[in-house]
Every structure is written in structure tokens, then in C-alpha cells.
Structure 1
Amino acid sequence: MTASLYDSLLEPDAQRTQFGAGEIPVAVYGLGKMGLPLASVYAEHTGNVTGVDIDETVVERINVGDCHVQGEPGLPALVESLVADGSLTATTDAATAAADAVLHVVMVPTLIDDRNNPDLSAVKAAVDEIAAGLAPGDTVIFESTLPPRATTDVLRPRLAEESGLAGDCFGVAVCPERTSSGRALADIRGTHPKVVGGVDDESGRVAELVYGELVDNDIVRVADATTAEAVKVFEGLYRDVNIALANDLARLTGELGVDVRAAIDAANTQPYCDIHTPGPGVGGHCIPYYPYFVLNWLDGQPATLATARSVNDAMPRFVVDRVAEGLAVTRAASIADGGVSMADDRSDATPAPDEVLDGATVAVLGLTYRAGVEETRASPGIDICANLAARGASVLAADPLVDAEGLTATDVPAEELPDHAPDAVVLATAHEAFEALDWTALPPTVVVDGRDVLDLTGTDHRLYTVGRGWQ
């Protein structure tokens, strides 16, 4: 028996019973690293979920109980059990899934084009598939992160137009994911309160009811769908701006002559202060992109957001500048040791930073944006590699999770780094595997630590830590 949640005459308790009994078929569109965990949580509560993805290989693997998403504790076993008991199936046939479902959950990404404009093409494609099977009483929930007003101005009208239904006979809500890679199941189940907002009161009520069954945490129902969209975007904007502040302060380390990280830690003992941590840049599929959901979507142009983006985008170059600075000093010291006076010929004694990078061998440790996460989107490590190569360096890249395919860098296992005797090393991502690197096996080298994890005491390396300076 198929039931409906939107505009139903049943009492909420009866609807909850139907939802838990699988009488409300669910389709989840997008089975990537966040979509598959979400579909799995829905399936463990309802026993009646169809996951939709355009990738045939992904669908085939899921349908034999094989989880293609790596690095998510508990997910492989959960997928295997849900597929085995029929609670979760996968398909590339979105039209059939949409026709069979009553609750449609969209978890495809909002992209950014080459001009940093929000690109809703993937979400629109899912909307068109849903619209082909949309029926009165259905509800569409967007978990995708969306630019504010995208649902009311673009997606809901498109659903109505493509389905031929009046906009008030189906529900639409925004319930943005608040999930991090590596802890998806825990986050979906309720690490954080769940924010929900509907395009109308009934849509908001349905979203609140559904997630009240899925989430072991508070449900924060906001005024409308646009507010829900804004909440998710604002979270990312706060972090981007705060990290930019930390990075700007880190740039003052040399001039101030203080350990900026220590100063930040002390400042944060005041309860009204929460300065984030400086680093080599900001990566991932969220924070670097959300500012453009405002800057290149709305008419207003908040100067703070644009400035923060420029600061954080500049950090990979700042890191490379420190490499060049260290090599220049090392080269100058070598010249001085060879009998050349620093005062004799300044251009020879102290090479220009860009010149000293030309022909140098520099190893970059870490190509993913975060330790332990197989995600390279907007990764500072990749930008550091590109900047080094553009300035004439020969770049080696080591990462236990991904390779350097498509980069101007040569893959080198971290344990083999001493064999290549690099002139400099940059730690861009603090993968646990790098803890085993034998720094004493490397010849004296310039090392730039973007993550404040290295202790090279007792070695001859010249260490610069972002936020602490030269040590």
C-alpha cells in the first residue's frame, strides 16, 4: 500500500507509522559520498528506498551489496545488510524510480562553473526526472546545498512546469545536509540538529515529521525554504571568513616576531573569541564554493566574502613564497661559506626567490584537502604543486590516498622521498601515513609545514610553520 505525507488527512502519528512501515516509497537521487549514506539511513528506517545514480558501475556495485564510498565507518556493512534484506536497491532508471516514489530526496551537488558561477545543471536534471513521475501528494526534499532562493525561484517552478501539476498539490522542502566526510552516518543520524524549511507550511510540517523519525537530535524548523538554504550557506561563509582572518594573522608572524598560533590559542580562552586555525589554504567541496552562492548569485556584493576568498586563495602562493625564501637564504649561506662576501655581489649572494625555485626539486606531501579523506577538490596541495611548477621547480608529490595524475608533478611514495634528496619539502595535508617519514634520512632541507604537525628538533632542516614562522 502506498501512502502520502503531503496534504494528508491522517494524523501525524499514523503518518509516522506508515513511514516506518515502508508504505511511503522513497527515492534518493545521487549516490555519491553523501548520497549513499543518506539513502542508507532512510532505508534502515523505512525499508523501502530506491537510490538513483547515473553511474552504472555505482549502481551495479550497490545492488550486490558492495559499497563504493570509502572512508565512512559502518557504511559498507550497513549497505550490505540493507541490500540483502531488500530495504535498499539502486537504479539508473530515474523515471521509473520517480514514478514509484512518494518522497523524493535530492542529494546531487550544486557545481561551480569556470567563472565561479553557481551551476544548478545537476540539480535541474534530477528535478526533470522527478517531474516526469511526480504525482499529487508527493514531496520533494532538497538536501543539496543551494544558493538562497534557488528552490523558490528556480526549482519549484521547474517541478510544476515539467510535471504539469499545480504548485500547491505537491510539497517542496529544503533540509540541507550538515555532514562531513569520514563521519557521514553519525552526522546524518544526528551529530548536529537538523534544519528544515518548506516552501509552505505543509511542506515544512512534512519535512519536520520525516527527519524527526530519522535524526536523533533536535529538528530546527525555520520559516521557509530560503531560510534553510541560507543557514547552510551561512555556515560555510562563517568558516571561510574566520579561516581568512587566521591566515591573515599568520602572515604577520615574521613582522610581529610572535608565535601567532600560540596567540590565537590564548585569545580563544576568552569566550567571545573563536579564531580558527591558519593553514596552506581552504579546500573541499564546500567552503571554497559557498561564497560564490552569494557573490555570483545575488545582487548584493558583501565585501567581506570577496576579501576572505582572495586571502584563502592566496595561501598556496604564500606557502611557495616561504619555500623560495628558505632556499634563497640557504643558497646565500652556501655562497658565503664558499668565500663570497654577502656585500660583494648582492645579486649572486642572495638569489631572488623566483630564481631559486627554477630547477629546484620540491616535494609536496598531501594532495587531498583533508587528512584521511579521498577528496581533492580545491585542495591547497594541488595548488601548491601548480604554483611550484609554474615557477620552474621540479615537483614530487606524495599522498597515500590519491595519485598525481593530471598534475605537473611526479608521484613518489613518502617512504622513498630520501632517495630523491629534495631541496625542499612542503607538508600540505597531515595524513597519518606521513608520521612514519624518517626526516633524519633526508639531507638538510627547507621544510614548510602548513598544518603545524612537524617537530624536526635535532635535525638540520630549516623549518617554517604557517602561523609560527621560521624555527
Structure 2
Amino acid sequence: MKLYDTERSEEERRTAFRNGDVPVAVYGLGKMGLPLAAVYADVSRNVRGVDIDPDAVETINAGRTPFDHEPGLDDLVAETVDANALRATTEARQAASEAAVHVIIVPTLVTDEKEPDLSTVEAVVSDIAAGIEAGDLVVVESTVPPGTCKTVIAPMIKAESDLTSGEFGVSFCPERTHSGRALEDVRGSYPKVVGGIDDESTRAATAIYREITTNEITPTGDATTAEAVKIFEGIYRDVNIALVNEFAKSADDTGINVLEAIDVANEVPYVDLHDPGAGVGGHCIPYYPYFFTSGYDGPSDLTRTAREINDSMPLFAVDKLLEGLTEKGTTLADATVVVLGVTYRPGVDEIRHTPAMPIVDRLAGQSDSVYVVDPVTDNFDPFEGAQPLGLENLSDVDPDAVVLVTAHDEFGTIDWNQFEELVIVDGRDAVYPDTDDHWLYRIGQGRR
């Protein structure tokens, strides 16, 4: 059955989707895509997941997940695969020819020139165009620059298929999902935004997501507005964090305890200041501002300045570490330094755009004794010049300095009293030694 069909009511579409009469292809089975595909399969019982990684496909078809730290996902994948509700493949065009709904959830990054990189999305769209039929619906969950559905995706499908406008639908329905709670978020932590390139696209996607999510559906006037919603969410957080990071940098000169001031300011409901820190990482906030600025010729000074401030925080943390070593009469070249946390978020095995990367690069460029500790990931290869170290072996290297980048819960077990006159830069307000013997700099509070 096709969902992009003006003759069918929403209830008819929802019933067909729920009964498995609407075959679905989900393109991208990564940390956001696999949970989405599993929930789709749990509801519709008729999903083909597509990924270019044959090892991931093999793992999923064996009823397992290729990654950890996602509560409930192992069981849901095992159940849906066992029931033949979810099947994985590397054959995108074959999957496209069998599907009536095509869900795109692949990464969109930026180039070295800070321009949006839609190459992966475009490759998927080409595969879809090779198998799409009249009445099919394309759902885009990947974050894209505003206007992409209207000016890139729909025109590509028309150019590379036999279809014309009005014979297929395209709707933007952005993921609002966080690693570590993906199933919860997909199923309804937040209202689901739906915006189509035409009214029928919006109606068809709305019918699907009324079955997928328990939360409200928020339709927008068009796909471009829906695309902007996700971009604006990311830019808001980036600008907010940049503001408090600017406050944090002032702590030394002003004597303000910025962390305390933020907490008290947030007591009123009209203030929501975020937390300062050693940098902003991940696959969202550091990239989305460029999705806006690249397509807008007008002034965007605030957005660009926020990016610059947040990108400066890792080296700000290193500068403070160097100040501490200088006060202790030690040079970085002679020091043993430990970086605590290389993932961009606590409890999440993801190092994309992590603040730890520029910190390690600068430290390892001047010291031969740099160690990285992270209880969540074993992906240390990108941190050239640094040696992986287990948390239990921290005392073995007798560090002169430590910079905490990611506040993993496990770091709360560190006994700081075992070290003497240690230089500590706390980038996440997470280090509270029982002794005053250490040189401690807390971003947002200064030297205390």
C-alpha cells in the first residue's frame, strides 16, 4: 500500500502501516539510525535497514547491535530480527525497489571549508530514485540545511526517476535523539516535527509518526521551516554555551564565581543559562551553525562568534594547565599529563569533534608523556602522540598534571589524595579533592 495518496484517510494509512502493509526502508543504521529502524520495525513489522558497512549488517541480522551503551536496543533488535520484522542489507537499491516509505538518517557533516557536506544524503537519494514508485514517501530525519528537501532532494528524485511532482512525497521529520536514550527519545520524549514539500507529504508523514511516537505531532507549514527548527535548536545551544564560556573566561579578571552566578540566575523561569566547559563536541552543535550560515548571505555575526568562542575553549584549558605547571616550576616538556575523558559526552562512546582532540594535539606536540583515560571508549587511535591508560593505572604514571574533559561517572572514584601537588584543570565542574595541596583551576570558577 502507498501512503502518499489523497484518497486515503489518516486512519486508513495508520492501520495499513501498523499492519505491515507498508514496507519501509531505513537508510543508515548508525547510533541514531538503528534505534529508529528498530522502533519502526516494532510498530510496522516490515522494515529493511540499509547500511554500507557489511560487518554492521551481519551483526544486526544475527540479532545483535554493533555498539554498546544504548539501553533496551539489544533486546529490541533481537526481537524484531527474530520476528523477521527487521532485516538489514547493504543493497540500497534493492531495498528501495521494495519499499513504499524511505527513511533517510545518515550523517551530514561539514567540509574543511565549513560548508555542509550532503554527499552521503545525495548518494542515498540516488539509490532511492532508482527504485522509487508513484505513491512512495521519502522521510528525511538527517539534519540538513534549510531548503534541502525542496531544492535538492525532490529535484534529484525527479531528475533520476520517471516521476514528476505530485507523484511522490518528501517530508522532513528531524530526529531529536540523544545517544544513551535513543529508544526513549524516538518513542516520544519530545514532540515530533513534520513538514512536507506539499500538504500531502505532511499528512502522510503525520500518519506514520502518530504510530511511532506517543508524543504530540507538530506540523509546520513546509519542509524548509521544519528543517530550520532543528538547525535553530542546535544554534540556540551553541550560542548559549558560548555566552557562558565567555563569562567563564572572565572569572580570573573579575573574581566572579561564574558557576555559582549561573546557578542562582537560573532560579528564575525566564533564564536558562547552560554550563561552561572545556569545549563543545559531538555530531550536532559544532556543525549545525554552518548549515545556517552557508545558505544565508546576510549578517550572522552572533552565530559565527559563538562557534569561535566554543572552539577556543580546549586551548583555553591547555593555557590554564600551562599556568599551573609554570607556578609549580615545571615545563610541559618535562611533565607527565593525563587527559581524563576523550568522548564528547559522559557515558557515550562517540569522539566526533570531541574537545579532547585539540587538547591532546597541543599537549602531545610539546610532551612525550601524555596519557588518555576513558572508561567508555577504546577508540584511542585518533589521539596521536598520547598513550591509552586504564583508570585503575592512573597512579602508576605519577602525573604532574590532569585535565578533565569529560565528566564520566567513573572519574568520581578517583582518590586525589594519592597525588602530591598535582596541577588539575577541571573542565566540567567535576573535581573536588579532599586536600588543598593541588593547584586546581575550575573553568567557570577560576583558581580556587
Category of TM-score, reference length = shorter chain: over 0.9
Residue 406 of structure 1: aligned partner: 382
Find out whether 1:249 has 2:243 as its counterpart.
no
Match of 2:180 in 1: 182
CA distance in 1, matches of 2:114, 2:265: 35
Deviations, residues 147-183 of structure 1 (Å, cap 9, x unaligned): 1111111111001111121022000000000000000
5 Å matches for 1:365-376? 365-376=340-351
Secondary structure in 2 matching 1:211: helix
Q: Which SS does the other structure have where 1:426 is aligned? A: strand
| Alignment correspondent of 2:26 | 28
Structure 1: segments with no counterpart, 5+ residues: 332-350
Among residues 52, 55, 74, which one is paired with 1:54 in the alignment?
52
- Kindly provide the CA deviation profile for residues 317-374 of structure 1, in whole angstroms up to 9, marking residues without a partner as x: 110011011111121xxxxxxxxxxxxxxxxxxx8xxxx3233221100000011100
Contact 2:11 2:207 in 1 (8 A): no
Deviates more, 1:107-116 or 1:232-241: 107-116
Q: Equivalences for 1:251-400 in 2 at 5 Å? A: 251-331=249-329, 356-392=331-367, 394-400=369-375
1:440 and 2:417 matched: yes
1:146 partnered with 2:177: no
CA contact (8 A) 1:127 1:155 kept: yes
* Higher mean C-alpha displacement, 391-400 vs 230-239: 391-400
CA–CA distance in 2 between the matches of 1:229 and 1:12? 24
| Amino acid in the other structure paired with 2:304 | A
CA contact 1:362–1:393 (8 Å) conserved in 2: no
Match of 1:67 in 2: 65
Deviations along 1:253-298, one digit per CA (max 9) or x if unpaired, are: 1111121100011111122211110000000000001011112233
**Are positions 1:418 and 2:416 aligned together?**
no
Query: C-alpha offsets along residues 403-436 of structure 1, whole Å, 9 cap, x if unaligned?
Result: 4213221111122121211111001111122222
Q: Using the alignment, how far apart are the partners of 1:58 and 1:389 within structure 2?
A: 33
Offset of 1:37 from its aligned partner?
0.4
- Provide, for residues 115-155 of structure 1, a one-character-per-residue CA deviation record: whole Å limited to 9, x for no partner: 22111010001000100000000000000000111111111
| 1:390 Cα deviation after fit | 3.0
Letter in 2 for 1:365: L
SS in 2 for 1:128: helix
Please give the alpha-carbon distance, in whole angstroms, between the structure 1 residues aligned to 2:256 and 2:33. 45
Partner of 1:455: 432
Letter in 2 for 1:430: A
Asked if the contact 1:403/1:411 (under 8 Å) is kept, the reply is no
Contact 1:239 1:287 in 2 (8 A): yes
**TM-score, normalised via structure 1 length:** 0.93
Instruction: Supply the distance in 2 between the matched residues of 1:301 and 1:158 (Cα, whole angstroms).
Output: 30
Structure 1 counterpart of 2:378, one-letter code? V
User: What residue identity is the alignment partner of 2:380?
Assistant: A
Q: CA deviation at 1:51?
A: 0.3
> Which amino acid in the other structure matches residue 364 of structure 2?
A
TM-aligned CA deviation for residue 393 of structure 1:
6.1
3-state SS of the aligned residue for 1:397?
A: strand
Secondary structure of the 1:104 match is strand
TM-score by length of structure 2 reads 0.97
SS at match of 1:283: coil
Give the greater-gyration-radius structure (CA).
1
Q: For structure 2, list consecutive stretches of 5 or more residues without a partner in the other structure.
A: none
Between the two proteins, the alignment pairs up a number of residues equal to: 446
**Equivalence for 1:197:** 195
**Offset of 1:392 from its aligned partner?**
4.2
Mapped to 1, the partners of 2:37 and 2:380 lie a distance apart of 32
Shift in CA distance, 393/300, structure 1 to aligned 2, threshold 3 Å: farther
Counterpart CA distance in 1 for 2:68 and 2:232 is: 28
SS of corresponding position for 1:291: helix
Q: Given that residues 284 and 375 in structure 1 are in contact (C-alpha distance below 8 angstroms), is that contact kept between their aligned partners in structure 2?
A: yes
Distance in 2 (alpha carbons) for counterparts of 1:4 and 1:295 = 37
- AA at the equivalent of 2:445: R
Alignment correspondent of 1:469: 446
Letter of the aligned partner of 1:406 in structure 2? P
C-alpha distance in 2 between matches for 1:171 and 1:406? 41
Q: Is the 8 A contact 1:371 1:432 kept in 2?
A: yes
Which residue is 1:429 aligned to? Answer: 406
CA offsets per residue over residues 228-259 of structure 1, 9 Å max, x none? 10000000000000000010000111111121
Instruction: Please give the per-residue CA displacement for 1:168-226, whole angstroms capped at 9, x wherever unaligned.
Output: 20000000000000000000000000000000000011111110111100100000000
Q: Percent identity?
A: 51
Aligned mate of 1:112, from 87, 110, 113: 110
Q: Who is 1:339 aligned against?
A: none
In 1, Cα distance between equivalents of 2:303 and 2:247: 17
Q: Distance in 1 between matches of 2:179 and 2:211?
A: 23
Aligned-partner Cα distance in 1 for 2:294–2:55? 35
Looking at structure 2, the residues matched to 122 and 243 of structure 1 have their Cα atoms a distance apart, in angstroms, of: 29
Q: Which amino acid aligns with 2:80?
A: L
Q: Contact 1:20–1:45 at 8 Å: present in 2 too?
A: yes
Give yes or no for contact 1:117–1:297 (8 Å, CA) kept in 2. Answer: no
Any conservation in 1 of the 2:417–2:434 contact (CA below 8 Å)?
no
What secondary structure is seen at the aligned counterpart in 1 of 2:176?
coil
- AA in 1 matched with 2:32: M
Task: Tell me the CA shift for residue 300 of structure 1.
Answer: 2.8
| Match of residue 158 from structure 2 | 160
Task: Give the drift of 1:459.
Answer: 4.8
> For residue 38 of structure 2, what is the aligned residue in structure 1?
40
Give me the whole-angstrom Cα distance separating, in 2, the residues matched to 1:264 and 1:53. Answer: 43
